[in-house]
Amino acid sequence: MMDVKLAKTAGFCFGVKRAVDQVYEQLEKTGGPVYTYGPIIHNEKVVEDLEKKGVQVINSEAELKEITTGVVVIRSHGVGKGIYDILQKPGITIVDATCPFVKKIHRIAAGQNAAGRRVIIIGNPGHPEVEGIRGWCEPSALVVEEPDQIVNLPVRREEKLCIVAQTTFNYNKFKDLVEIFTEKGYDILDLNTICNATQERQVEAGRIASEVEAMIVIGGRNSSNTQKLYEICQKECKNTYFIQTLGDLNPECVNSVRSVGITAGASTPKQIIEEVHTNVRIKF
C-alpha cells in the first residue's frame, strides 16, 4: 500500500480564513452589493463560489471610483493608503480583511519612511501584498526579488535602509538577500516580516518532500506562497507536481511510486486537500 504523508500545515492560514469568512458574513448580513478589491484570495474555486453568490470583484482603482454604495471588502493581501482614501464616501462601508501580519508591515513601512529610512521590500513586485506595502511608503520604496537586482539598486551608500519581507517570501532567500546588503556596507534595519505560518509550512513541505518519491503541491495558479512551496519541494524531490484540484493530477505521476507527500498553499480550501488526499491514498 502506498505511504501518503499529508502536511499538517496544508491549507488556509489564519489571515486567509479570516478574510473569506468576512466576505460570507457580509453576504448574510447585508442587503446591498458586496465587492472585494481584487479576488479575496488566490484560489479560483473560492472566487467562483463567491461570484455565484453575488460578490463582485473590483480589479482597478478606476472601477473602485465608480462605486457609490455597498460593502467593499479589502482582501487579506492589504492595500495602499490611497485605496482607503478613495473609499471614504458616504455610501460605502469598508470591511478591512487585511491580514494582521500584513497590517504590521504597513505600520513599519510608514513609520520607517517617516523616520527617514528608505524602505526595501523583499518580495515579488507584481504581487498585491507588495503593491499594498509600497502604498504606505511611496515614492522612495524599492522592491528586490533577486540578488542581481541589488547590484544596480539606485541607493546612495550613506542612505539608511529598512528591509522588510513579503509575508509569504522564501525565508532562506530573504536571509541571503539581507546578507548581500550587509556585505555591501549599507546601514540597514532588517526586519523578518515573513509570517510564522509561512515559515512552518515551507519547512514542513521541504522535509516531507525529502522523504518521499513524489510530492504534490496544491494551490491556485496565481498563489505566490504556493509557488514558493513548489520551488522548495522541487529542490528536495524532482517528482514534484503543482495542481489546483484533483482533476489536474495525472495518475501516471504517482501510480508507480511507493510514497507520496501532499502539501497545499494558504489559499487552498480544506475540501480540495481532502479530495486529493483520499483519492491518492485509495486509488493509487
User: CA-to-CA distance for 182 and 169, rounded, in angstroms?
Assistant: 19
**Nearest by Cα to 77 from 102, 113, 56, 60:** 102
Helix 14-29, helix 100-114: angle, nearest 10 = 110
**What is the number of alpha carbons within 13 Å of residue 38 lying toward its C-beta?**
20
Which of these is catalytic: 25, 48, 61, 129? 129
Full DSSP string of 45-107? HHHHHHHHTT-EEE-SHHHHHH--SEEEEEPTT---HHHHHHT--TTEEEEE---HHHHHHHH
Is 44 an annotated catalytic residue? Answer: no
Q: DSSP state, 113?
A: H
Judge contact between 106 and 131, C-beta under 8 A: no
User: CA-to-CA distance for 245 and 165, rounded, in angstroms?
Assistant: 29
User: CA-to-CA distance for 235 and 172, rounded, in angstroms?
Assistant: 13
List, by residue number, the catalytic residues: 129
